Structure 1
Amino acid sequence: MFNPTKKSFTSLSSREFEQYSLDILKEQTAELEDVYFAHDKIMESHDGNYQIDGYIEFTVMDVRYKTLIECKHYKSSITREKVVLLHDKLKSLGAQKGILISTSNFQSGAIQYAEVHGIALIQLTEAATSYELRESFNIITASGRKPFNYGKPYSGVLVTNDEHGISCSYLSRNNTKLSIFLLE
């Protein structure tokens, strides 16, 4: 399991970080039909214009779905307030889902709020970061593992909150948890 409290600041510039994050999302949504991606998009709403770091639209059963992506290239933990701001943008722009991608970890309040309001949290971390597999709390089944990411320098870690606590999952071509999140 990846340690969600570990700081993993990257050497990417803010723009490189945003584009790398969108590349990870393109890989994760490859099986969706009629997918449209935009970077650094200005969107109009009844209450003003919003700058969005990334935007995804896709069609499922003839319904068009919108997803807003915010990228936070921070050294400090992501607070609940940052997730609340993304949720407010979702409501104003009529989007169904939100994704917040960070170079830093997420505070527990941010994770809890995101879970309730349909926002995925992803931490970008160095691919060389090792992790442990746990069967349950304090029972380690494998340690020192490194994610397989097809030679890319960074990996995305989906951070969720469930009945057992905080759960982390490395995103890859074989891990479809983010696609499932978008379709729920």
Structure 2
Amino acid sequence: MRSYEDLVTHLTPTEFELFVKSHLEKIGTGLTSFEAKHNQKLAGHDGTYQIDVKAVFQALGCDFLVLVECKHQSARVKREVVEVLFNRIIALGAQKGIIFSTAGFQSGAVEFATSHGIALVHVIEGRFTYQVKSAEKEEYYSLPSWIEIPKYVGDFAYINRQGFEGRSSIEIGRMDDLYSFLFNGFVE
């Protein structure tokens, strides 16, 4: 049995990108003029960049551009990957960036992302959010028939204003910490 830390979803990289896009569309329904597009080529002042998902919406009378990168891999995302997204945000004049990963993030990536306003979301199978004590490892993540957990959920990693690393489970209907980070720049 695979461990929680080694989990990589069974989606292909393209399916993972489309999965992220569809979830962004679901959470963006409350925003004005929200639109998410997959596999976009955007022209910046210094070149053209391929972006996995481009999200645009209006808020406070302004247009917002969010660049989303999807990393379907078995190794944790390194700081350098977050730095590349940060440089793309600057080059394209975007307001925010988000990286979704199937393998999580190294601590340097979390530190850099938090200090530059980039959200990091580790996508895991929902069953890994439900744990019971069991002598049998195969049963450790077995779900009772009465429980309703989404197939996939996000584990949002951040460092709060006091400098403590935190994690928040996000799914449709439970996005408060991610919204706070994206719009306020921090999580309490």
TM-score, normalization by structure 2: 0.81
Following superposition, the deviation at residue 61 of structure 1 comes to 1.7
Structure with greater proportional helix content: 2
Q: Which runs of 5+ in 1 are unaligned?
A: 133-143
Matches within 5 A, 1:61-80: 61-80=60-79
Q: Could you say which residue in structure 2 is the equivalent of 1:138?
A: none
**CA–CA distance in 2 between the matches of 1:37 and 1:72?**
17
- 1:80 and 1:111 in contact (8 A); partners too: yes
Distance 1:182 1:155 in 2: 18
> What amino acid maps onto 1:178 in structure 2?
L
Distance in 2 (alpha carbons) for counterparts of 1:171 and 1:113:
21
Q: How far did 1:182 drift?
A: 2.8
Aligned residue for 2:127, secondary structure, equals: coil
Quick one: percent identity of the two aligned structures?
A: 32
Report the CA distance shift for 1:41/1:119 in structure 2 as closer, same or farther (over 3 A).
same
**Deviation at 1:36?**
1.3
What CA distance in whole angstroms lies between the structure 1 residues aligned with 2:8 and 2:41? 27
Q: 1:154 is matched with which residue?
A: 152
Q: Which amino acid aligns with 2:61?
A: D
Distance 1:169 1:82 in 2: 22
Say what the alpha-carbon RMSD is for the aligned residues: 2.3
What TM-score does the superposition give when structure 1 sets the normalisation length? 0.83
Q: Is the 8 A contact 2:123 2:153 kept in 1?
A: yes
Structure 2 unaligned runs (5+)?
A: 132-140
| CA shift for structure 1 position 93 | 0.2
Q: Take 2:61 and 2:148, find their aligned partners in 1: how far apart are those partners?
A: 33
Larger radius of gyration: 2
Aligned to 1:88: 87
Q: CA offsets per residue over residues 55-104 of structure 1, 9 Å max, x none?
A: 11111121001100000001011110000000000000000100000001
Structure having the larger proportion of residues in strand: 1
Counterpart of 2:54, as a letter, is Y
Structure 1: distance between partners of 2:49 and 2:120:
20
Cα distance change on mapping 1:12 and 1:156 into 2, 3 Å: same
